[in-house]
Amino acid sequence: MSSRRPDPLAQVSDFEIRLLKLFRSVVECGGFSAAESALGIGRSAISQQMSDLEQRLGLRLCQRGRAGFALTEEGREVYQSTLQLLAALESFRTEVNGLHQHLRGELNIGLTDNLVTIAHMRITNALARLKVQGPDVRIHIRMTPPSEVEQGVLDGRLHIGVVPQVGALSGLEYQALYDERSLLYCAVGHPLFYVDDQQLEDERLNAQEAIAPTFRVPPEVQSHYQALNCTASASDREGMAFLILTGRYIGYLPDHYAQAWVQQGRLRALKASTRYYDINLAAVTRKGRRAHLVLESFLEALAEA
């Protein structure tokens, strides 16, 4: 598109909102082809509607072609504005529906990875109860790193998140959910797999190649990693599991997450009585948030689960 729109956008109609929702889906899917299944329409239709949006805005939003999909600088700004607009519309709809005391609308949840294997299943049970109370509620779950979950709750893209509580941010409220224990594991093929704990000296254990997390952990947890020979890193627990299962590294995993591999004889905990740490997982919501009937109902269900 060679030039900007000469006149300001006069209004945002239902049609523009529909195009902006399509734009959001394309960005979050990473391109036209990947968005086909999410949107339920073909690539050519997506391309045409994206062209319509660019024409209406007078802006080039993305580059597409053999080099792949990429947002322009203007596209990134429009995407952030789109998130704010759609969040505001959803907030308005939720508040109006709340006047009728009927659960309608969306619940956007951000989760850190590998919580589904926690035996208590408070999140799962609370979601089930919410759907009983409000069959029309639409639930959207995003699996992202803890810092992105907290930021999403702060800027309104997420209604609630569940993260390890490392340090409380001033604009958020935290509700304790779980205490999670992580143990030090190795896999079949690792030199320590068949070494009895009583024969395993700390010096030898600390010399093994290990994995460090790139996500935030409390200071008292950092000391556990500082004692190890960390030559690899991972951005989440699943990444750590991938490396441990190679049989070439040792690393910490939540015991509930590792349990299935332990039962299969593929993992074993090393010195479980001393090599462990506990961390609290908390539900996080924004302070001073507007009334949101769906969210409040979910929080009630979470407290009772």
For residues 204 and 281, is the Cβ–Cβ distance under 8 A?
Answer: no
Check residue 174 and give its pLDDT.
92
Check residue 99 and give its pLDDT.
55
Check residue 12 and give its pLDDT.
82
Check residue 98 and give its pLDDT.
63
| Mean pLDDT of successive 10-residue stretches along the chain, which has 305 residues | 55 88 91 88 91 90 81 92 90 69 83 78 89 91 88 92 85 89 97 95 96 89 95 92 97 95 97 94 89 87 83
Q: Report CA torsion sign: 80, 82, 83, 89.
A: positive
Check residue 2 and give its pLDDT.
44
Interior angle at CA 296, CA 293 and CA 299, nearest 5: 150
For residues 165 and 174, is the Cβ–Cβ distance under 8 A?
Answer: yes
Question: Could you give the domains of the chain?
Answer: 14-87 (1.10.10.10), 89-176+284-304 (3.40.190.10), 179-280 (3.40.190.290)
pTM of the model: 0.65
Check residue 168 and give its pLDDT.
80
Q: Classify strands 229-234 and 209-213 as parallel, antiparallel or unpaired.
A: parallel
Check residue 3 and give its pLDDT.
47
Q: Could you give the CA distance from residue 67 to residue 48 in angstroms, rounded to a whole number? A: 19
